[in-house]
Protein backbone atom coordinates (compact mmCIF):
# COMPACT_ATOMS: atom_id res chain seq x y z
CA UNK A 1 0.00 0.00 0.00
CA UNK A 2 1.10 3.56 -0.66
CA UNK A 3 1.28 5.75 2.47
CA UNK A 4 0.62 9.37 1.60
CA UNK A 5 -0.11 12.69 3.29
CA UNK A 6 -1.59 14.10 0.08
CA UNK A 7 -5.02 13.14 -1.29
CA UNK A 8 -5.41 11.11 -4.47
CA UNK A 9 -8.29 11.93 -6.82
CA UNK A 10 -9.08 9.79 -9.84
CA UNK A 11 -11.33 11.02 -12.64
CA UNK A 12 -12.70 8.83 -15.42
CA UNK A 13 -15.13 9.54 -18.24
CA UNK A 14 -15.98 8.41 -21.75
CA UNK A 15 -14.19 10.26 -24.53
CA UNK A 16 -16.18 13.41 -25.31
CA UNK A 17 -17.76 13.81 -21.86
CA UNK A 18 -15.79 17.00 -21.13
CA UNK A 19 -13.29 15.51 -18.71
CA UNK A 20 -10.28 17.41 -20.07
CA UNK A 21 -12.03 20.78 -19.84
CA UNK A 22 -13.04 20.12 -16.23
CA UNK A 23 -9.71 18.72 -15.06
CA UNK A 24 -7.63 21.49 -16.64
CA UNK A 25 -9.78 24.15 -14.98
CA UNK A 26 -9.64 22.35 -11.63
CA UNK A 27 -5.85 22.15 -11.61
CA UNK A 28 -5.58 25.83 -12.59
CA UNK A 29 -8.02 26.95 -9.89
CA UNK A 30 -7.41 24.77 -6.85
CA UNK A 31 -4.19 25.37 -4.91
CA UNK A 32 -1.93 22.46 -3.95
CA UNK A 33 -3.46 20.16 -6.56
CA UNK A 34 -1.37 18.87 -9.43
CA UNK A 35 -2.21 16.76 -12.45
CA UNK A 36 -0.63 13.33 -12.68
CA UNK A 37 1.69 12.76 -15.63
CA UNK A 38 1.34 9.26 -17.08
CA UNK A 39 3.86 7.17 -18.96
CA UNK A 40 2.69 6.08 -22.40
CA UNK A 41 3.92 4.07 -25.35
CA UNK A 42 2.05 6.15 -27.91
CA UNK A 43 3.75 8.86 -29.95
CA UNK A 44 3.32 12.54 -28.98
CA UNK A 45 0.47 14.39 -30.67
CA UNK A 46 1.03 17.90 -32.06
CA UNK A 47 1.53 20.33 -29.18
CA UNK A 48 2.21 17.69 -26.54
CA UNK A 49 5.36 18.15 -24.48
CA UNK A 50 7.50 15.47 -22.81
CA UNK A 51 7.22 15.70 -19.03
CA UNK A 52 4.23 18.04 -19.16
CA UNK A 53 1.57 16.00 -20.94
CA UNK A 54 3.11 12.52 -20.73
CA UNK A 55 6.37 10.69 -20.26
CA UNK A 56 6.76 9.12 -23.72
CA UNK A 57 8.62 5.80 -23.59
CA UNK A 58 9.04 2.79 -25.88
CA UNK A 59 7.58 -0.68 -25.36
CA UNK A 60 10.88 -2.07 -24.08
CA UNK A 61 11.11 0.42 -21.23
CA UNK A 62 7.41 0.04 -20.43
CA UNK A 63 7.87 -3.74 -20.19
CA UNK A 64 10.83 -3.24 -17.86
CA UNK A 65 8.83 -0.93 -15.59
CA UNK A 66 6.01 -3.48 -15.42
CA UNK A 67 8.45 -6.24 -14.44
CA UNK A 68 10.05 -4.03 -11.77
CA UNK A 69 6.74 -2.95 -10.23
CA UNK A 70 7.28 0.58 -11.44
CA UNK A 71 3.60 1.31 -12.03
CA UNK A 72 0.80 1.86 -9.52
CA UNK A 73 -1.53 0.92 -12.36
CA UNK A 74 -1.30 0.48 -16.10
CA UNK A 75 -3.70 -0.34 -18.91
CA UNK A 76 -3.82 -0.73 -22.67
CA UNK A 77 -6.25 1.55 -24.52
CA UNK A 78 -6.70 1.65 -28.31
CA UNK A 79 -3.46 -0.29 -28.82
CA UNK A 80 -1.28 1.89 -26.60
CA UNK A 81 -0.27 1.47 -22.96
CA UNK A 82 -0.56 4.04 -20.21
CA UNK A 83 0.71 3.81 -16.63
CA UNK A 84 1.09 5.85 -13.45
CA UNK A 85 4.68 5.76 -12.20
CA UNK A 86 5.00 4.58 -8.60
CA UNK A 87 8.12 6.61 -7.80
CA UNK A 88 6.69 9.76 -9.37
CA UNK A 89 3.41 9.48 -7.45
CA UNK A 90 5.13 8.67 -4.16
CA UNK A 91 7.43 11.64 -4.55
CA UNK A 92 4.61 14.11 -5.13
CA UNK A 93 2.35 12.78 -2.36
CA UNK A 94 5.21 12.87 0.13
CA UNK A 95 5.27 16.66 -0.22
CA UNK A 96 1.64 16.87 0.93
CA UNK A 97 0.30 17.95 -2.44
CA UNK A 98 -2.92 16.41 -3.77
CA UNK A 99 -2.75 14.58 -7.10
CA UNK A 100 -5.46 14.30 -9.75
CA UNK A 101 -5.19 11.28 -12.02
CA UNK A 102 -7.04 11.01 -15.33
CA UNK A 103 -7.32 7.29 -15.96
CA UNK A 104 -9.92 4.99 -17.45
CA UNK A 105 -12.04 2.57 -15.47
CA UNK A 106 -9.75 -0.46 -15.41
CA UNK A 107 -6.84 1.65 -14.25
CA UNK A 108 -9.02 3.28 -11.60
CA UNK A 109 -10.00 -0.10 -10.17
CA UNK A 110 -6.36 -1.21 -10.13
CA UNK A 111 -5.26 1.98 -8.41
CA UNK A 112 -7.88 1.59 -5.70
CA UNK A 113 -6.29 -1.73 -4.71
CA UNK A 114 -3.05 0.13 -4.00
CA UNK A 115 -4.58 3.34 -2.60
CA UNK A 116 -7.90 2.33 -0.98
CA UNK A 117 -8.75 5.86 0.18
CA UNK A 118 -8.37 7.42 -3.27
CA UNK A 119 -11.51 9.35 -4.23
CA UNK A 120 -12.91 8.11 -7.56
CA UNK A 121 -14.96 10.54 -9.65
CA UNK A 122 -16.84 9.66 -12.84
CA UNK A 123 -17.93 12.35 -15.33
CA UNK A 124 -21.26 11.45 -16.92
CA UNK A 125 -22.47 12.74 -20.30
CA UNK A 126 -26.11 13.88 -20.29
CA UNK A 127 -27.07 11.08 -22.69
CA UNK A 128 -25.68 8.70 -25.29
CA UNK A 129 -27.03 10.93 -28.07
CA UNK A 130 -25.33 14.04 -26.69
CA UNK A 131 -22.05 12.15 -26.31
CA UNK A 132 -22.15 11.00 -29.92
CA UNK A 133 -22.95 14.54 -31.05
CA UNK A 134 -19.97 15.90 -29.11
CA UNK A 135 -17.68 13.32 -30.71
CA UNK A 136 -18.94 14.18 -34.19
CA UNK A 137 -18.66 17.93 -33.62
CA UNK A 138 -14.95 17.57 -32.86
CA UNK A 139 -14.42 16.45 -36.45
CA UNK A 140 -11.45 14.28 -35.50
CA UNK A 141 -12.88 10.77 -35.78
CA UNK A 142 -14.24 8.67 -38.62
CA UNK A 143 -17.64 6.98 -38.33
CA UNK A 144 -15.88 3.73 -37.45
CA UNK A 145 -13.79 5.42 -34.76
CA UNK A 146 -16.91 7.03 -33.29
CA UNK A 147 -18.63 3.65 -33.25
CA UNK A 148 -15.67 2.19 -31.35
CA UNK A 149 -15.62 5.11 -28.90
CA UNK A 150 -19.35 4.78 -28.24
CA UNK A 151 -18.98 1.06 -27.61
CA UNK A 152 -16.13 1.75 -25.20
CA UNK A 153 -18.18 4.51 -23.54
CA UNK A 154 -20.95 2.06 -22.75
CA UNK A 155 -18.42 -0.31 -21.18
CA UNK A 156 -17.00 2.52 -19.05
CA UNK A 157 -20.45 3.70 -17.94
CA UNK A 158 -21.28 0.20 -16.75
CA UNK A 159 -18.59 0.66 -14.06
CA UNK A 160 -20.16 3.78 -12.50
CA UNK A 161 -21.18 2.03 -9.26
CA UNK A 162 -17.51 1.49 -8.38
CA UNK A 163 -16.98 5.26 -8.12
CA UNK A 164 -17.44 7.51 -5.09
CA UNK A 165 -18.88 10.49 -6.95
CA UNK A 166 -20.77 11.00 -10.20
CA UNK A 167 -20.75 14.43 -11.87
CA UNK A 168 -23.20 15.04 -14.72
CA UNK A 169 -21.63 17.35 -17.30
CA UNK A 170 -24.77 18.84 -18.77
CA UNK A 171 -24.19 22.41 -17.54
CA UNK A 172 -20.43 23.05 -17.54
CA UNK A 173 -20.44 25.59 -14.68
CA UNK A 174 -22.54 23.40 -12.42
CA UNK A 175 -20.44 20.35 -13.26
CA UNK A 176 -17.25 22.23 -12.48
CA UNK A 177 -18.48 23.48 -9.10
CA UNK A 178 -19.56 19.96 -8.13
CA UNK A 179 -16.16 18.65 -9.21
CA UNK A 180 -14.32 21.32 -7.22
CA UNK A 181 -16.51 20.73 -4.16
CA UNK A 182 -15.44 17.08 -4.02
CA UNK A 183 -11.80 18.15 -3.60
CA UNK A 184 -12.53 20.64 -0.83
CA UNK A 185 -14.91 18.29 0.97
CA UNK A 186 -12.30 15.53 0.93
CA UNK A 187 -9.71 17.88 2.38
CA UNK A 188 -12.15 18.72 5.20
CA UNK A 189 -13.06 15.10 6.00
CA UNK A 190 -12.66 13.71 9.50
CA UNK A 191 -9.88 11.35 8.44
CA UNK A 192 -7.84 14.18 6.94
CA UNK A 193 -8.51 16.83 9.60
CA UNK A 194 -8.22 14.67 12.73
CA UNK A 195 -4.48 15.43 13.22
CA UNK A 196 -5.22 19.16 13.08
CA UNK A 197 -8.10 18.78 15.52
CA UNK A 198 -5.88 16.86 17.95
CA UNK A 199 -3.27 19.61 17.80
CA UNK A 200 -5.91 22.20 18.65
CA UNK A 201 -7.25 20.06 21.50
CA UNK A 202 -3.77 19.65 22.96
CA UNK A 203 -3.61 23.42 23.40
CA UNK A 204 -6.42 23.43 25.96
Check residue 29 and give its pLDDT: 97
Does residue 85 sit in helix, strand or coil? strand
Q: List the CATH number of the domain containing 151.
A: 3.40.50.300
Residue 4 is predicted with a pLDDT of: 59
Q: Give, for all 204 residues of the chain, the pLDDT tens digit.
A: 445 579 999 999 998 899 999 999 999 999 999 999 999 999 999 999 898 889 999 999 999 999 999 999 998 887 899 999 999 999 999 898 999 999 889 889 999 998 999 999 999 999 999 999 989 998 888 889 899 889 999 999 999 999 999 999 999 999 999 999 999 999 999 988 888 899 999 999
Residue 90 lies in domain:
8-202
Q: H-type helices in the chain, by residue range?
A: 19-29, 59-67, 86-94, 105-114, 128-138, 143-157, 172-187, 190-202
Q: What was the pLDDT predicted at 1?
A: 45
How far apart, in whole angstroms, are the C-alpha atoms of residue 13 and residue 20?
9
Q: Domain for residue 3, yes or no?
A: no
Domain count of the fold of the chain: 1
Amino acid sequence: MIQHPGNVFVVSAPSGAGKSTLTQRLVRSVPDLIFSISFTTRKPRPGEVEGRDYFFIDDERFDAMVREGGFVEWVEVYGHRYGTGRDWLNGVLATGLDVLLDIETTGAMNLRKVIPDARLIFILPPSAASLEQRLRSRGKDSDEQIRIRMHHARHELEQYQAYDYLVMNDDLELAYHQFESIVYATRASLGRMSPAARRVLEGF
